[in-house]
Amino acid sequence: MKFATKVLHAGIEPDPSTGAIMTPIFQTSTYVQEAPGKNKGYEYARTDNPTRTVLQNNLAALENGKYGLCFASGLAATDAVIKLMNPGDEVLSSNDLYGGSYRIFTKVFERFGVKFKFIAMHEPGEIKKHITPKTKLIWLETPTNPMMNVIDIPAAVSSAKTVGAIVCVDNTFASPYLQNPLDMGADLVLHSVTKFIAGHSDVVMGAIVTSDEKLFDQLKFLQNACGGVPGPQDCFLVLRGVKTLHLRMERHCTNGATIANFLFGHPKIEKVYYPGLSNHPHHELAKNQMRGFGGMISFTLKGNQMEDALRLLSATRLFSLAESLGGVESLIGHPASMTHASIPKAERERGGLVDTLIRLSVGIEDAEDLIADLEQAIG
């Protein structure tokens, strides 16, 4: 099946008891058993829920993987992946990543003896320089949040193989429509489903997809043992949202490109970070490993004055000032004080995340209206 067919049909069958074409919301905590140990495959809803099962199978198909697991949030999924580690194990991570990932790594898992190294993974050769026999996991986000660097997934996979480490790609920014890390050799792909997959800013959820049976068994165990599962109502909303993922992503991509070009040509804009621009340092790599460039753009204003950035952030009318991304409506954000405030300033600036950086999540509105809004806000 091709992508547009998969979002609608992969793993989804009419409900066998009624014929309902839409997967029902199984709002139940438990399942009646005929006799001890004799059941219909469902025992308790933390372990399994039919609405969740359908969504997990659908998401697995979208990432060309065998197994999917859904979690209560993207960070609950991240939590499960890092719990594959033991004290003393090393994780190599990109230094330009979602602030909440940095926070759970440094503030939670370092206390349990897992070691994290944050490196400029988009620089060729950096992984080889820092990988050691203790490295058990390479964690990367590409494109990165918010600097829009692109990391070479096959290169990370081949470095990981030299020490037997696994590779997990946070594919939230690209979505499975634009990039499939498992096809490039990654072991795990992780999503904040909250963003493009759900797409309507009404659900918080995470997911992991893999084709490795052993990793799946370990993660499935953690999903049940630690219990960070999503409710069936949220699974229903994501099943509903995902049906238009391909259509939404097409528009995110065309609007993203139009707005990146507008910003690039604007006399008051200093820098534009968008992998679809031909002068982006990783444009060729992005063309190789992605099928499009998405709707996430970061930029700075000329002069780099904090008051100019703050004024712009409050002046847009269609772009709403909010955390999050990937919804149908356009958002504008200030990473230094919002999504990335949990990363220390010195660490942020090492990766180029200055206090005046502005991030856009370009929605699916009419591009002309979005440009007019930015034009009046930039002034």
Ligand X SMILES: *Cc1c(COP(=O)(O)O)cnc(C)c1O
Q: Give the residue, chosen from 93, 95, 194, 330, that forms a contact with ligand X under the rule CB under 6 A.
A: 194
Instruction: Pick between residue 256 and residue 371 the one whose CB is nearest to ligand X.
Output: 256
Instruction: Pick between residue 80 and residue 378 the one whose CB is nearest to ligand X.
Output: 80
Q: Give me the active site residues, please.
A: 46, 98, 170, 195
- Closest CB 191 distance from ligand X, rounded Å: 8
Q: Give the residue, chosen from 49, 53, 58, 73, that forms a contact with ligand X under the rule CB under 6 A.
A: 73
**CA–CA distance, 354 with 50 (Å, rounded to integer):** 45
Number of residues that bind ligand X (CB under 6 A): 16
Question: Per residue in 314-326, is it b (16+ CB within 10 Å) or e — as a string?
Answer: ebbebbeeeeebb
Question: Per residue in 9-22, is it b (16+ CB within 10 Å) or e — as a string?
Answer: ebbbeeeeeeeeee
- Closest CB 190 distance from ligand X, rounded Å: 7
**Residue 192 interacts with ligand X (CB under 6 A)?**
yes
Instruction: Pick between residue 174 and residue 364 the one whose CB is nearest to ligand X.
Output: 174
Pairing of β 269-273 and β 166-170 = unpaired
| Cβ-Cβ contacts under 8 Å for 243 (sequence gap 6 or more) | 7, 8
- Closest CB 332 distance from ligand X, rounded Å: 15
Instruction: Pick between residue 167 and residue 371 the one whose CB is nearest to ligand X.
Output: 167
Which segments of the chain are extended strands (E)?
67-71, 90-94, 115-119, 135-141, 166-170, 188-192, 206-210, 269-273, 296-301, 320-321, 331-333, 358-361
- Region binding ligand X by CB under 6 A among candidate stretches 191-199, 243-251, 300-308, 312-320: 191-199
- Closest CB 257 distance from ligand X, rounded Å: 21
| Cβ-Cβ contacts under 8 Å for 323 (sequence gap 6 or more) | 333, 338, 339
- Region binding ligand X by CB under 6 A among candidate stretches 149-157, 192-200, 271-279, 283-291: 192-200
Q: Give the residue, chosen from 206, 232, 256, 292, that forms a contact with ligand X under the rule CB under 6 A.
A: 206
Question: Where does residue 86 rank: exposed (0-12), middle (13-18), buried (19+ CB within 10 A)?
Answer: exposed
- Closest CB 16 distance from ligand X, rounded Å: 32
Structure tokens at 276: 């679809």
Instruction: Pick between residue 156 and residue 378 the one whose CB is nearest to ligand X.
Output: 156
Instruction: Pick between residue 194 and residue 244 the one whose CB is nearest to ligand X.
Output: 194
In one letter, which amino acid is 200?
Answer: H
Question: Per residue in 232-244, is it b (16+ CB within 10 Å) or e — as a string?
Answer: bebbbbbbbbbbb
Instruction: Pick between residue 178 and residue 378 the one whose CB is nearest to ligand X.
Output: 178
**CA–CA distance, 71 with 347 (Å, rounded to integer):** 29
137-176 footprint of ligand X as x/- string (CB under 6 A): ----x---x------------------------x-xx---
Q: Tell me, letter by letter, the H, E, C secondary structure of 307-358.
A: HHHHHHHHHCCCCEECCCCCCCCCEEECCCCCCCCCCCHHHHHHCCCCCCCE
- Region binding ligand X by CB under 6 A among candidate stretches 69-77, 111-119, 226-234, 292-300: 69-77
- Closest CB 262 distance from ligand X, rounded Å: 24
**Residue 219 CA: distances (Å) to CA of 180, 283, 299, 359, 375:** 20, 34, 38, 33, 47
- Closest CB 204 distance from ligand X, rounded Å: 5
77-116 footprint of ligand X as x/- string (CB under 6 A): ---------------------x-xx---------------
249-288 footprint of ligand X as x/- string (CB under 6 A): ----------------------------------------
Name the residue number minimizing CB distance to ligand X.
74
* φ and ψ of 207, to 5 deg: -150, 150
Provide the binding-site residues for ligand X, judged by CB under 6 A: 73-75, 98, 100-101, 141, 145, 170, 172-173, 192, 194-195, 204, 206
